[in-house]
Structure 1
Amino acid sequence: MGTVENLTPFMTFSREDWAKLRQSYPMEVTMDEIERLKGVNDVLNMQEVADIYLPLTRLINLHAIASQELYRNRSIFLQKQEKKVPYIIGIAGSVAVGKSTIARVLHTLLSRWDTHPKVDLITTDGFLYPNAELERRGIMNKKGFPESYNVHSLLQFLSELKSGKSNVEAPVYSHLTYDILPGEKQVVSQPDIVIIEGINVLQPPKRPGDRYSDQVYVSDYFDFSIYVDAAEENIFHWYVERFKTLRETAFRNPASYFKKYADLNDVEAYDTARGIWERINKRNLHENILPTRHRADLILRKGDHHLVNEIKMRKV
């Protein structure tokens, strides 16, 4: 009789085995580009791009081509005029785990495939309610939790993308002011691929029997999904180190929402970051983000030094 372990829907690859899947896909990024792509205190180098992200973009390319061919054939079957519909990739994971860096790397690499040169990157931060609305609802202390997002607006955006609408607008978020930028929009115009990055994008619909169990959810629009994983103690450490770095940089900007933290000493910065982590980010991780991990098509597991050391890929 097979064990539960044998029933896993994932194939597991070591870093070394995964790197072999790159085959002949060329390196088309420079060290200067890599420096611009990586986030605060994140680790990214040429070897990481070659071993992890080049094989991943090759896999996504195969999926995207197959998906586009299926869509064309289905349009023929339904006798409908074919519209250009983007292949949508979702990237989820905790705060400070490095999702944004990975999203930017994939955006850059995928843009250089001949089969899909137009790639757009959208972060779900833009679909957070404005701070004034969060304050009105009494959930400013739960910013980043599912209830802090305008899910209807996000679903409308994704629906318009998948319907082949020519120009679709997304709101824009500022990490400096920690709020939505009024009147600013990111226009997505008939891309080949769209990357949607956000902590809760893999959250499932309501459980069967719940009042809204038949509702559509964000992940229903994804063609491929990635979860960025790491040990919780590592994520906490990366969060604290990022907070300390921002204290010396972005927090010193007079326009920064967090300028009150700019003059904290190391001990105060650690205690403040730990408090925010415990009250908000750790709770969100356990309640909403981590339970979505095994809904992903691919799980990138990072080790101690922010480098991927294991990949799990869904079998079917």
Structure 2
Amino acid sequence: MNTSTSKNSISPYIRFTREEWSDLRTITPLTLTEEDLENLQGINERLSFDEVSDIYLPLSRLLNLYVQATQELYNATNTFLGKHAEKVPYIIGIAGSVAVGKSTTARILQALLSRWPNHPKVDLVTTDGFLFPNAILEQRGIMKRKGFPESYDIKRLIRFLSDVKSGSRKVMAPVYSHLSYDILTDQMQVIEQPDILIVEGLNVLQIPKDEQLRPAPRVFVSDFFDFSIYVDADEKNISNWYIERFKVLRETAFKNPKSYFHRYASLTDEQAVNTAKEIWQEINAVNLQYNILPTRFRADLILEKGLKHRVQKVMLRKL
């Protein structure tokens, strides 16, 4: 196998060009229909069948092999113990910037992985549900830092993941509304021992910056992951995608009077672009540079995107 890594360089990753990665698909069939793909892609992210076939099918094949190996270890443990242990889901974490397309990646993988016969039950949870309610963010004066590490109820998220990894039969996750831009107090997502759980969020690979000052051992969200993915792209591209998404939302979701962002629905094209740029520069770019991007090399696999959300390179951590 020829990879783009120089023979003289040392890296914890094996690097693949798009073509090299695509070849690893082997005979894995594409099980998604055109209608499936239409329902799975993002607001301004139009994925082609080639993208799914070249990038996500090989990834689903790799993850299937990993899950299968984990299931075999589970069976070996049962044999050793002489009894049936509680089923423990395989957890995949997906991180990346706002607007980079991590939610689409999560949905595509959920659809593909659920079509493999040995793990048909695949659930998806976003960490948006573990944000503190707006009332608490306003009380603490961090409403403009929503999405930053301090805006999440990390203790609740870790409790949730701990219960899932402990084999609890039913675990509840809070639900977030992008319409009201807040937690829904009357709804919960029920997780009942899936074969695979995908956890998608901005800071799921985060380790507090002051960790070196804390002598006591701590538990992090990523400690519960069996495999982690970072969706990456040049910041200029992500910024452009964010602005384009903002313009689309102005014509769709923002027009709903119940939308938290309804005030943006009447903006002109120029005003919408300027507003989106300002939000990006003051909030999302800061979060990306100081909190999200530094976690990139903690991932087991990195998807590097180019223009139009097309993955150009894949980096897989060596075992």
Look up the match of 1:93. Answer: 96
C-alpha displacement of 1:56: 0.3
Q: 1:230 to 1:262 in 2, by over 3 A?
A: same
What SS does structure 2 have at the residue aligned with 1:305? Answer: helix
Structure 2 equivalent of residue 66 of structure 1 = 69
2:307 is the alignment partner of 1:315: no
Give the match's secondary structure for 2:204: coil
Structure 2: runs of 5 or more not aligned: 1-5
Q: Which residue of 1 aligns with 2:44?
A: 41
Q: Which residue of 2 aligns with 1:278?
A: 281
Alpha-carbon displacement from aligned partner over 1:76-108 (angstroms, at most 9, x marks no partner)? 445664110000000000000000111000000
- Checking the alignment, whether the CA contact within 8 Å between 1:129 and 1:149 is kept in structure 2 is yes
The 8 Å contact of residues 206 and 214 in structure 1, kept in 2 or not, is answered as no
1:99-178 superposed matches below 5 A: 99-178=102-181
Q: Distance in 1 between matches of 2:8 and 2:197?
A: 34
CA RMSD of aligned residues (A): 1.6
* Paired position in structure 1 for 2:23: 20
Aligned length: 314
Question: Can you list the C-alpha shifts for 1:157-203, whole angstroms capped at 9, x where unaligned?
Answer: 00000000000000000011100011200001110000000010011
What secondary structure does 1:182 align onto?
strand
* Distance (whole Å) between structure 2 residues aligned to residue 18 and residue 192 of structure 1: 26
Give the TM-score, by structure 2 length. Answer: 0.95
Match for residue 245 of structure 2? 242
Q: Equivalent residue for 1:225?
A: 228
SS where residue 6 of structure 1 aligns? coil
Does the 8 A contact of 1:86 with 1:192 survive in 2? yes
Partner residue, 2:3: none
Structure 2 letter corresponding to 1:193: I
Change (3 A) 1:80 1:290: farther
Inter-partner Cα distance in structure 2 for 1:5 and 1:242: 42
Q: TM-score, normalised by structure 1?
A: 0.96
Give the secondary-structure state (helix, strand or coil) at the position aligned to 2:308: coil
Task: For residue 279 of structure 2, give the secondary structure of its aligned residue in structure 1.
Answer: helix
Structure 2 SS opposite 1:72: helix
1:22 partner SS: coil
Deviations 1:224-243 (A, max 9, x none): 00000000000000000000
Q: Give the Å deviation of 1:111.
A: 0.5
Q: Alpha carbons of 1:310 and 1:117: their partners in 2 closer, same or farther (altered >3 Å)?
A: same
The whole-number CA distance in structure 1 between the counterparts of 2:143 and 2:8 is 41
Aligned partners of 1:79 and 1:153: how far apart in 2? 34
> How far apart, in 1, do the equivalents of 2:268 and 2:148 lie?
29
> CA separation in 2, counterparts of 1:162 and 1:213?
23
- Larger displacement relative to structure 2 (191-200 or 59-68): 59-68
Q: Give the CA deviation at 1:70.
A: 1.9
Secondary structure at the residue paired with 1:7? Answer: coil
Residue pair 1:118, 1:192 contacting (<8 A) in 2 also: yes
| Residues 31 and 45, structure 1, Cα contact 8 Å, conserved in 2 | no
What is the deviation of 1:24? Answer: 0.9
Q: Which residue number corresponds to residue 202 of structure 2?
A: 199
Q: Do the aligned partners of 1:22 and 1:55 also contact (CA within 8 Å) in 2?
A: yes
* Greater Cα offset, 73-82 or 169-178: 73-82
Give % identity. 60
Counterpart secondary structure, 1:276? helix
Secondary structure class of the residue paired with 1:97: coil
